[in-house]
Amino acid sequence: MKNYENFGVEDFLADESFIDWVKLPNDEQDQFWAEFMASHPAKQEEIDRAKTILLSLQLQPATAPLSANEKLAIHTHIHSRTIDIQEKPAVRLYAQTWFKVAAVLLVVLASSIWIYNAQLKHSTADTASVSSNFIDYVNNDKIAKLIKLEDGSMVVLSPNSKLHYPKKFDDTIRRVELEGEAFFEVQKNPNQPFVVYSDNMVTKVLGTSFTVSAFLGQKKSVVVNTGRVQVLNQDQEQRTISEEVITANQQVILTKKDGELNKQTLAVPLVLSLEVALRTFKFDNAPVGEIVAKLEEAYHVKINYNQEKYAKATVTASLGQLSLEEKIKMICKAIDADCNFNEGQITIN
């Protein structure tokens, strides 16, 4: 008997028994996996992610168990399918996905953003000052920079923005201080909430994706893509003056004059809201360049890849429910490529 309790998403994707069960389940397999998940609830998320990947690749239903050739075809499909992205470079996905990212934070803050990234390197346009416990990052470039946090969360830092946060988050809270604009994809951890501080506005993640705008001298706002976000207006003693909880396609505006939080519903759904993303990031034999272009436009990040090498590569996949990192790694997996998240950019090798 295989030691499935030590399996990760990659291992499940490479396991023939698991693929058999996903493609053509029977009563015996259903019973085995039901009992396994009941006795190992911690593996539920990884199993669900692996199933989602296999199903998103749109494998054809079968009427008989997998043959050796079919199993080889599935592995080839996972490793070799190419993904299309409109008007921009192609990306390749790894089976080695980080599938615990459940919250996407799109934070647009006008004060200043200090971002810590252990993998971030200095550049002529950016500055990253490192103390014993914190890293301060300032994006002085004209394009957004991608940063990976210690907990696995991803940040897209806009130009003229700063972020400050610890090298290692506290066990009870993940606190960052922002000024300017940034997009966050936050690793889900109910026991360690993610909190964004920007002057007197505090944004707490309850499992979601959102944008925060808090520029100096201007009104502040928070817009939610998916899930729920709690927004607080605090005084100098950090006492709460007002608070609101908003959900998908809603926003809160904090005016400088009266200090009130005004809740509104957006007339047009956001590009990265689930309902729109499910349509936008569903690809059927799409060129990699087309897929990369859509990702660059939606996330405002630069994705480097060899356009000539992947000019004919195409991918069929549904990526709407995945985080940016998962999308990139899924594409790389499909076209048998590697990806790097460093120096403020995404590179597909």
336 and 256, same structural domain? no
328 and 253, same structural domain? no
21 and 114, same structural domain? no
249 and 292, same structural domain? no
Tell me, yes or no, whether 84 lies in a domain: no
How many domains does the structure of the chain reveal? 3
227 and 168, same structural domain? yes
Tell me, yes or no, whether 151 lies in a domain: yes
243 and 134, same structural domain? yes
Amino acid at 201: M
> How distant, in Å, are the alpha carbons of 151, 154, 160, 176, 192 from that of 170?
11, 18, 27, 11, 8
Tell me, yes or no, whether 93 lies in a domain: no
- Which CATH number is 178's domain given? 2.60.120.1440
Contact in structure between 298 and 320 (CB atoms under 8 Å): no
Contact in structure between 337 and 84 (CB atoms under 8 Å): no
Tell me the residue range of the domain where 319 lies: 274-348
Report residue 63 CA to chain centroid gap. Answer: 36
**pLDDT of the residue at 82:** 33
φ, ψ at 196 (rounded to 5°): -110, 120
Final residue belonging to a domain, choices 265, 298, 319 = 265
- CA atoms within 13 A of residue 154's CA, in its CB half-sphere: 27
pTM confidence score: 0.59
209 and 138, same structural domain? yes
Q: For the chain, what's the residue count? A: 349
CB count in 10 Å sphere of residue 27: 7
Final residue belonging to a domain, choices 244, 265, 286 = 265
Final residue belonging to a domain, choices 227, 246, 265 = 265
Per-residue pLDDT of the chain (349 residues; tens, 9 = 90+): 678 988 888 778 778 888 888 877 888 888 899 889 889 888 888 888 788 776 655 444 444 455 544 444 455 444 443 333 333 333 333 333 333 333 333 333 333 223 233 333 334 346 666 667 999 988 898 888 888 899 888 888 888 888 898 999 998 999 999 988 888 888 888 889 999 998 889 989 866 777 778 777 778 888 887 788 899 988 777 788 889 998 888 889 987 777 788 899 988 887 788 888 899 999 999 999 999 999 999 888 889 999 999 999 999 999 988 888 889 999 999 999 999 988 788 999 8
Tell me, yes or no, whether 199 lies in a domain: yes
Helix (H/G/I), strand (E/B), else coil: 76:
helix
